[in-house]
Each structure stands twice: as C-alpha cells, then as structure tokens.
Amino acid sequence: MSYYGYFVAGAIMLTGAVGIARSRNLVHAVVCLSVSQAGTYVLLLSIGYQRHAAAPVFGSTIKPSTKVVDPVVQALCLTDIVVSATVTALLLALSLQIAKHHGTTDPDELSALRG
Amino acid sequence: MHFNDGLAQLAPLSIAIPIVVACVMLSIGQRAPRVVVDTVAVAGATTVVGLDAALFAGSGGRVINWVANWLPGGGHPVGIVLVVDRIGAGVALLAAILMLLALIYSARYFESADAHFQCLMLLFLAGMNGFALTGDLFDMFVFFELMGAAAYALTGFKVEDRSALQGALNFGIVNSLGAYITLMGIGLMYARTSQLGLAQIGANLDHQRPNALIVVAFIFIMTGWLVKAAAVPFHFWLDDAHAAAPTPVCVLFSGVMVELGLYGVLRVYWTSFAGVIPASDMRRAFIVLGAVTALVGSVMCLAQRHLKRLLAFSTIAHMGLFMCAAGTMDASGTTGAAVYVAGHAGAKCALFLLAGMVLNRYGSVDEAALHGKARDARVPATLFAIASLALAGLPPFATGLGKAIGEDALSADGYWFGPVLFVAVSAMTGGAALRAGGRIFLGLGPRPRQTEDSAAEEETPETTQRFGRRSASLVGPIIALIAGCLALGLAPSSIHAIGGGATRLIDHAGYLAETLRHAHPTVAHDPTAIDWTTTGVVLGLVSALLAVGVAATGWYAEAVRRRLRSVLAPFQRGLSGMRALHSGHVGDYVAWLMVGVVVLGALVGLPLR
C-alpha cells in the first residue's frame, strides 16, 4: 500500500488553506477553497484505489468477480463535488456583490466588520 | 425487531417534508400572494414540529430506520440508517420550534414577492433535522453542508448590506474549510474501518489501541463540528455572521445551529470513538477549550456596543459553558448541558427578536446611539429585562436549572473552578445585555461618547415599513420563547426526559447493540436527581445580582474608570488586542482555524502517546 496519495492530498489541502490566509482577492480566496477541497477528492480516490483494478461498472466485459476499485469512495467524491459546486457558486456570487457594494475585492480593505 | 416500525417512518419524513415544501414554495412563489407563501411555510414548519415532538415523546429507547429496508448483512453490504434518540429528537424539535417562531416573526419582514427567504429557511431546517437524526458519518457531513449552504445564503440575504456580505463570505469560507477537513477525517476513518455508519465504526474501533491514524482522523472530524460550535479559536466567523444576518436568522443560528456543532462532537465521540479514545482524555480537551471559549466570549461580550454582536459573543461564552458541562463526560453534566441549551435558546432568541424590534423601530442597534431613545416602549423593555436576567441564570428559568446541574457536575468531578466560571460568565453576559437594555429603554447613566469604530458602523434596515407598536406577530414569539424557558425550569419532571436522553447519548454499548444487533432497548433509568438544589438557587440568584452589578457599573462607572485609568491601562491594552484579533479578515480566520487544529491535536493526541 502506498502512502503517496495521502501526502499529496494533505499537501493540496494545506496549499489551499495557506492560499486563503494570504489571499489579496476574494475570487482568489474562493478558488483556493476549491483547491483545498480538491485535496479531499484525491484522498477519497486514493483510499479506494487498487492497482490493476477496473472501474466499478459491471457489464459484458467486467464480471462481478473482477477486481474493481471501491465504488463507495467514488460516490462520496461525487457528492462532495456537488456540494462544492453549490458552495463555490454561492461564495462567488457573494464576492461579486461585495465588489459591487464595497468597491474592492481585497479582504485587507473590507472594513464593515471589526471586533 | 423494533426498527422501521410506525414511529421510525416519521424520521425520514421530518427531513423530507421541509425540502418538499420548500420546492412547492419555489414553484408557487412567483404567482401566489404573500400571505399564501407565509401560510404554507408556517404550515410546513408546524408539521415538522409535530413530527419531531412525536419522535421526542416516543424515543424512550432508540427509534431506528434503515432507510428503504436496506439492512447491512441482509444481502446488502451497505445501508443508510437514521437513529433517533431523545437528545437527537430534542435538538431537532428545538430547531423546528425556533424555525416556526422565526417564520411567524418574519411573516411581515421581507417585502420581496418571491418566496426565497422562506424556501431557504425550510432547507436550513431540513439540514438541521437531518444532522440531528442521522446515524451515518457521511450523512452528517452532507446535512452539515446543506445546513451550511442555506445558512451562508441566509446571512447574506440583504445583498445591499455591506457587513452582511462580508459576514456571509467569512462564515462560508471558514465553515466550508472546516467541513472539508471533517471530510478528510471521514475518508481516513473509512480507510481504516471500511465503514461509514457511526455504530459500525464504533464496533470496529472498540478495544483498539489509539494509533496515530485514528487520532488524526478523530481530530479532523472534530474540526468541522467545532467550527460550527464556535469553540475558540474556531469562533471568529460567528460574531460576524450574527451581527450581519437578518434577525429571524440569528434566532436559528444562536438558538440551535451552533449547539448542533456540540451535538455532532458528542454524538461522534460517544458512538464511534468512546471505545478507543478514553473519556479522561476528552474531558481535559473539552474543559480547556470550553473554559477559554467562555472567557473570551464573555470579555468580548462586555466590550460590545452593537447589540446583535453583543448577543453573538454571549452565545460564544455560553457555548463554552455547554462544552464544560458536557465535558465532564458523565450523564449529569450532559443533562446539564442539554437543559442549559434549551433554556438558553429561549432567553437568547427572545433577546435577538427584541433587538430586531429595536432595529425596525429606531433604525440602529448601537446602544450608544440609541441611548434613551426607546423610553416609550414599556412592553419590549420589560421583556428585555426578563430575558437578560434569564440569560444570567435567574431561577426559576431553565437557564438557571441547566447552569445549576452543570455546576454540580463539574464540582462533583473535582473542578472547583466550575461554579466560579459559570457564575462569572453568566453575570458578565447577562450584565452586558442588561446594560445595553437599560441604556436603550430607560436611558440610564450618562450618554456614552461616540467613538469612531461604532460610529462607522451603519445599519441597513431589514424592513421597508415600521411595524405597529404591539404587532402580535412580533411580540407573540418573544413571549412564547420566554414562557418556554420559564416553563421548562418550573417543571423539572419534564426534564427527566432530557436526563434519560443524556444517559442514552453517552451509552456507547447500547447504541451499537440496538443499531447493529437490534437488541431490545435497555430500560432507561433516571441517572441523576434533576431538581433545583439550594446551592443551585443561591448561585443563580448570585449571578443575577452580579449581572445587575455589572450593568450598573457600565451605566455609572465612567467617572470611576477615568480616575483609575493608570491601573486599568494594561487591561485596556489586552482588550484592544483581543478586539483587534476579531478583524473581519477571512485570511486571519483561516490561519486561526489551522492553529486550532494543531492545538486540538496537541490537547487530545499528546497525552495518548
């Protein structure tokens, strides 16, 4: 079993988080959030991956006895993609409105909320 | 076999009905008159209240529904399960009741012709119900995200309000990142156990040694729930979102959504991890996090002048207390936390709705700008005073009872500072609310000087028209909330049901046996004598009195404070430092989230080495 996929997943997640923390543009921050989420895709898929196994679609060529990769994590990944599409769209819409009403997309210049 | 019987069929309905009603409203919203939309929304919420109440009353044991009869083992390798016990049903019922009251309150709130607001509210309810009732870890994540997406949209509902947009974006990014970290934990757990059901994971992990993979997966899963629960340092999004969201939405955020985060932590720990990570380890982590959260929340609460932000920090402070109470990891502490949550929902939501009334009438929620402006509003003033004292834990309100049970549980476990912390935090948060109320409604004390930071904060009106002074749809829900808080405190017998629920929440073996082996439920025996004790009443009265003292200091001590300036200077500097941390900058919040993951890992993981 290879840990490579796990490290890649962790690295992508961290890269995204650092990207948000250092972001100077809200659209960039939202995309960084998507990058973070890509880490979860890689993690889920590498959990279910097996060498030399087929895609889990049974039919004339792939019999139920064939070795396939785990379909459960693929279903999780698909759900995750749907969730992320919703959230990303919503956050981008909010960024657009912020650009319209604040006149900037730099989080350093947003000043409506202070402790 | 007691699964999938009549009662169990109600569990999926309580999630499906709000979604169906939301879709119906979306399709009729364009054409139907506003009153029809509101009636449909209120009817939908009422139905869910009924379903959740039936589940709450009937869930003496656990109500288990393997959806569509897909049982694991019986030919199917996988199945999705709803497991309803009394705490889960109770939280869902609380969400439904608050939703109903918020919908009634907001019936005249938004003038928009389409039904988007009501639609989002019902989807939000579906997410909260699903999160509370499911017995599957991945489903928890899905419902968490459904609840989250609806909540982000509701926060930014006033698209022309600058602070609402910024609050919604901060809320969305921080919560989503937390949720993705949780998903990583779920993935690691699946890699380890090949299971996604809470009970199956629990059965798989039982009697194992806590190795690095299990601990890391556990920390990751906890991260998302603790972001929702607003534990320091994951809490920064909360005050931004609460200060900016429309008032009826704040009611749901403060009253139940944040508490659902703590519910998630307890549910996942007790069901899946109690056999592998020792309770003593969790107790340390919980009480440290809880105490820090309570202190940061209450100090920041005292420093606020923006009424909704003040109430938001008080929610953070109370979350800290709930975490301390539940962190005793025994039945009485968990009972205390559950009762406290129910009582807190009544008092806090009433205060939020009153803040909404003030905002509607006077166009501001800044206690300095509003000084003495609302002298003519006698009914709101009285309700505000009662709710503030209830927040401070005055007997016989349920907040006081929950606080007393929590204090007892902590001191029984040897945490002598427990009662001190509870009294201090109650007095500070209740006192801050009283101070603001006294200034706004009675004009007490000299008018505070306007400072730049508060003057800069403009408030966008949430409503286009001013309501009548005693509009029943506004005052009704407030009175109902306060009366509920009082009734719960006066009827400790009804709280026995919650006590039984708490025993079951922390009953790891029973959950596994009933869910996986369809064992008959063991008879729930009453864990603790739940009633008012003399100590509890006295400490409740003390904290209410101290709250009045805190408020009076706020009204009249300006001159004293000026004289003691040199003594107070270090505290002032500390406070402004802490305020500067709540910068409204999403990058800072994400950095703190990462720090939080490391701290949590150290708290839970290091002692296990």
Confidence of residue B455 (pLDDT cuts 50, 70, 90): very low
Residue predicted with more confidence, B221 or B530: B221
Residue of B161, B170, B187 lying closest to A40 (CB–CB) = B187
Query: Is the bond leading into B396 cis (omega within 30 degrees of zero)?
Result: yes
Return the H-helix or E-strand segment holding B143. helix B137-155
Q: What pLDDT is attached to residue B456? A: 43
Where are chain A's structural domains?
A: 4-109
Partners of B593 on chain A (C-beta within 8 Å) are: 17
Q: Which of A23, A73, A83 sits opposite B587 (nearest CB)?
A: A23
Q: Do B172 and A23 touch (CB under 8 A)?
A: no
* pLDDT score of B469 more than 70: no
From chain A, the residues in CB contact with B243 under 8 A are 113
pLDDT value at residue B570: 80
Report the alpha-carbon angle B350-B14-B510, nearest 5: 95
Nearest to B168 by CA among A96, A82, A85: A96
For the ranges A41-50, B205-214, B575-584, which has the lowest average pLDDT? B575-584
Q: What is the CATH number of domain A4-109?
A: 1.10.287.3510
What sign does the CA torsion over B497, B503, B504, B505 have? positive
Has residue B478 got a pLDDT over 50?
yes
Does A77 reach chain B within 8 Å, measured CB to CB?
Answer: no
Quick check: B60 pLDDT over 80?
Answer: no
Output helix, strand, coil percentages for chain A, rounded to the nearest 5. Answer: 65, 0, 30
Residue with tokens 């000043």: A111
The confidence score (pLDDT) of residue B112 equals: 62
- Which residues of chain A neighbour B145 with C-beta distances below 8 Å? 83, 86-87
Burial of A28 (0-12, 13-18, 19+ CB in 10 A): middle
Which tens digit of pLDDT belongs to each residue from A12-25?
A: 999 999 999 999 99
3-state SS, residue B60: coil
CB-based contact A113 B152, cutoff 8 Å: no
pLDDT at B46 over 90: yes
What is the mean predicted confidence (pLDDT) over B321-345? Answer: 94
Residue of B nearest to A85 (CA): B149
pLDDT 10s digits, B290-321 = 999 999 999 999 989 899 999 999 999 999 99
Q: Is the pLDDT of residue B453 over 60?
A: no
Q: Which two tokens stand for residue B40?
A: 């449909």
Q: Looking at residue A115, what is its pLDDT?
A: 59
Residues 6 or more apart whose Cβ sits within 8 Å of residue B566: none
Q: How far apart are CA B351 and CA B481, in angstroms?
A: 10
**CA gyration radius for chain A?**
19
- Minimal C-alpha gap between A77 and chain B (Å): 10
Partnered with residue B84 across adjacent β-strands are: B63
Determine whether the interchain pair B594/A21 forms a contact, defined as Cβ–Cβ distance below 8 Å: yes
Confidence label for B459 from pLDDT (cuts 50, 70 and 90): low
For the cut 90, the answer to whether the pLDDT of residue B559 exceeds it is no
Q: Look at the alpha carbons of B435, B296, B315, B488 in this order and tell me if their dihedral is positive or negative.
A: negative
Mean pLDDT, chain B, rounded, equals 88
Q: Which two tokens stand for residue B116?
A: 């988007």
pLDDT at B110: 67
Distance between CA A51 and CA A28 in Å, rounded? 36
Percentage of chain B exceeding pLDDT 90 = 56
* pLDDT band (50, 70, 90) for residue A69: confident
What is the per-residue pLDDT for B597? 95
- Inform me whether the C-beta atom of residue A1 falls under 8 Å from chain B C-beta atoms: no
At B72, give phi and psi (nearest 5°): -65, 140
C-beta neighbour count of B136 within 10 angstroms: 23
pLDDT at B454 over 50: no
In angstroms, rounded to a whole number, what is the distance separating the alpha carbons of residues B463 and B307? 18
CA B406 → CA A32, A63, B322, B325, distances in Å? 42, 59, 8, 5
Cβ pairs bridging A and B (under 8 Å): 144
- Is A75 touching B (CB cutoff 8 A)? no
Answer with the residue of higher pLDDT: B389 or B79.
B389
Strand partners of residue B82? B65, B134
Q: Per-residue pLDDT for B458 more than 70?
A: no
pLDDT at B208 over 80: yes
The reported pLDDT for the residue numbered B27 is 87
State the best of B183, B196, B454, B583 to mutate against chain A, taking most chain A CBs within 10 Å.
Answer: B183
Q: Who has greater pLDDT, B524 or B246?
A: B246
pLDDT at position B470 is 58
Confidence of residue A63 (pLDDT cuts 50, 70, 90): confident
Closest CA relative to residue B584, chosen from B178, B239, B253: B239
User: Is residue B576 very low, low, confident or very high in pLDDT (cuts 50, 70, 90)?
Assistant: confident
Dump pLDDT digits (tens) for B212-235.
Answer: 999 999 999 999 999 999 998 999
